[in-house]
Amino acid sequence: MKLSDVVSAMHLPIYAEVPLLVFVGIFVGVCVHMLRREGTFDQAAQLPLRNEQPPRGPR
């Protein structure tokens, strides 16, 4: 019996498929989360463009 026969009988592809499914699930979840909070990012994008005076404190 060869080592390749033993390894092929162990059904190892499941160890590659499970992390792939977990990654795809997390990726889809992050994408959905980002699309739902679109207004928050528009507000944050305008922060550098505001014309406010910086706070003056002791230097």
pLDDT at 13 over 90: no
pTM: 0.54
pLDDT score at 7: 80
Alpha-carbon span 40 to 29, nearest angstrom: 18
* Residue bearing the bigger pLDDT, 20 or 35: 20
pLDDT at 54 over 80: no
pLDDT at 59 over 70: no
Alpha-carbon span 28 to 20, nearest angstrom: 12
pLDDT at 46 over 70: yes
Looking up tokens 């059904």, which residue turns up? 11
